[in-house]
Chains A and B, each alone.
Chain A
Amino acid sequence: MFTNIVAGMSLVFHLDNILAALFGVTTGMVAGAIPGFTDTMAMCLLIPFTFYLNPIAAIAMLMGLSKGGNFGGSIPAILFNVPGTPQAAVTAFDGYQLTKQGKSGKALKMALYASTMADTMSDFILFFLAAPVALIAIKIGPPEYAMVVLFSLVIIGAVACEDLLKGMLAIGIGLFFSVIGLDPQLGSPRFCFGSVELTAGLALVPMVIGILILSETFKQVEIGINKQTFQKETLSKIAKNSKIENNKVNFSEFKKCLPSIFGGLGIGSAMGIIPGIGTTVASYLSYTYAKKSSKNPERFGKGALEGVAAAEAGNNAVVGPNLIPLITLGIPGNLAAALILGAFMIQGLVPGPLFMQQNAPMLYALFIVLIISNLFTFTVGTIFLKLVNNLSNIPRQFLYPAVIVFGVIGAFVFRSTLFDVKIMIFLGLFGYVLAKFDIPLPPILVSFILGEILERTIRQSLLISRGNLSIFITHPIALTFLILTIAAVVLLGIKSKKKYKK
């Protein structure tokens, strides 16, 4: 292990890797701080360019982006009560109240401290847990793997949307997109309708840009972009009346927030390991835990610094453990992890049970990159807090046209074909229509990625059993996950039905 860590260090400490991580963190922070433009959108736009970087720089950039974006989203949430990212909505509960009391600097600094602290500790959890999980993962065969993927898909679909049925529909749509192209074993075209370009299958990048970014642009065009509603003048008045001590976090305040940070770390890390749960749920749970365990729960929602700390620690603690299923099983836990998996694939790397064994130095290099990214989040964040007021007010009339052009470049550069740009437009429109029917879009992308693995492992299993489906029942681990999948569908289905009736 020690040799691998040293080898990992020698791989990491190159200028291009460090600059890539720095660029990723900064871009993520900027993207997160702009309401309506999330860190995942920035990841989608940057993925095609990772093709030109070495594997470590590519992953460092995307991981840095994810970390920077997680913190960046809290900035407009605290300053304007407009969360830059969905998970930052909880930060706004107390953060905006603190801003109204003239303590925005204090809230922002606490958010930065809690984010980087929880993030760094969660990276160590990844560091120590990845190897044991990989050892178990190595022992599982195609039937077990297929059932683990199926279970993950059900959980991802269920958690992505309150309505289980619509989540499952999204998963089915993503799986359908994954079969377009050549048959993986026989090499015959499937659903290509005579198109030569479709035989290569749908590319991830145009799909991600179309479904996530273009669909949002269609929505904005339909509803019309409202002029900025942020209260710039009110904010500047608050800032003028604010005292210096109100913009600092002193040691006693930090000490008071430590239980909330550790609570958030525990909850966020646990949520991160389970595929599909994600940062938003972790953030809500951490906040609820901090409120319940506080001696003064009535202060929550009225400007409690612990509330900001808990929400930020919760959502940032997801980042490290979220990579455990990705690295050890090749299963992305959420959309950000799915995009990182996409970048791995662009580099010709396939995360999964054997990945840790075959690429140990590289994996340790990635762990080191995560820690470095946290240092960047802290330093860049400190500087960034002074500039954010203007950034959060970027008019969306200019943002969306620019995003479309970036999207076109992103879709084109991946395979240098305008066919992918056409696919992006089609999928953008398709995503827009699906969103109209409240079908969640992120599970489509995750299941599109996992579809290939699911089909491969199912077919391998059927080859082993000579077409007998009982292979999924006779293998104990496969059976366990099959039962878990059925139980999850039944339980979540009942819960979803109750919510629907309400």
Chain B
Amino acid sequence: MNRDQKFGVSLLIFCVFLWFFIIPSEVINDKAALFFPQFITIWLAICAILLTLRSSQKTIKRIDKKELISRRGIIKVITLTIILLIYVYLIDFLGFFVTSFFLLLLLLLIFKVRNWIKLIGFPFVLLLFLYILIEKILFFPLPRGKFF
């Protein structure tokens, strides 16, 4: 299966699931209310079928030589997602500024910044700027935590 086929088949399965399970349970049983969600499902399903059919045509010898994503790439993306999710949950306890300081530090390390002055100085200066701009000038309160 090539890249487009994988996407087309996955989307088609999602559309079937949407039509038979999600729409009946998540949309009120009214003709007018059902019309647009069903219209979108048909739209997506047609695209998915055409995409799958097109990419499986024998006349089109399209080979995806390029790897969709490397193992290393997956690890990096998953790591960033986990970091961001932990960050959002920690904001409630530690507050925006403290949590963001550590987030920036981690992101700089991910982006291979190794100079300690830059690692500490950049988050500090950026967050100080944001504190003055958002809280002192625009008077918008950002989430506060136990420390700040």
Contacts and interface: CB of A to CB of B under 8 A. Distances in A.
Given A190-B27, A222-B77, A409-B134, A400 B44 contact: no
B88 A190 contact: no
A193 interface: yes
A191 B81 contact: no
Interface in B73-116: 73, 76-77, 80-81, 84-85, 88, 91-92, 96, 100, 103-104, 107-108, 110-113
B43 A412 contact: no
Contacts of A221: 76-77, 80, 110-111
Contacts of B70: 222
A487 interface: no
A462 B39 CA distance: 14
Given A412-B143, A413-B140, A418-B88, A172 B47 contact: yes
A429 B85 CA distance: 12
Given A222-B77, A401-B111, A409-B134, A168 B43 contact: yes
B50 A222 contact: no
Interface in B33-58: 33, 35-37, 39-40, 43-44, 47-48, 50-51, 54
B26 A437 contact: no
Given A398-B113, A429-B81, 6 more contacts: A169-B47, A186-B33, A190-B33, A400-B107, A401-B108, A458-B39
Nearest to B42: A172
A179 B7 contact: no
A400 B104 CA distance: 10
A218 interface: yes
The CB with the most chain B CB atoms within 10 A, among A185, A188, A223, is that of: A188
Contacts of B84: 404, 425
A189 B27 CA distance: 7
A92 interface: no
B40 A176 contact: yes
Contact of A418 (B11, B40, B143): B143
A319 B77 CA distance: 36
Contact of A191 (B27, B32, B113): B27
B35 A179 contact: no
Given A422-B88, A437-B4, A183 B138 contact: no
The interface size bin for chain A is 35 or more
A360 B73 CA distance: 53
B124 interface: no
Contacts of B111: 220-221, 225, 396-398, 400-401
Contacts of B48: 169
Contacts of B68: 436
B76 A191 contact: no
24 contacts: A52-B138, A169-B51, A173-B44, A179-B37, A185-B33, A188-B28, A218-B77, A218-B80, A218-B81, A221-B76, A222-B70, A222-B73, A400-B111, A404-B107, A408-B96, A408-B100, A409-B134, A412-B143, A413-B134, A432-B77, A458-B35, A459-B32, A462-B35, A500-B62
A210 to B, nearest CB: 11
A458 to B, nearest CB: 7
Contacts of A169: 11, 44, 47-48, 51
A316 B28 CA distance: 47
A9 B57 CA distance: 61
Contacts of B80: 217-218, 221
Given A168-B43, A179-B37, A221-B77, A425 B31 contact: no
A437 to B, nearest CB: 5
Interface string A207-245: 000000000011011111100000000000000000000
A397 B112 contact: yes
Given A179-B40, A425-B81, A191 B22 contact: yes
Interface string A408-422: 110011000010011
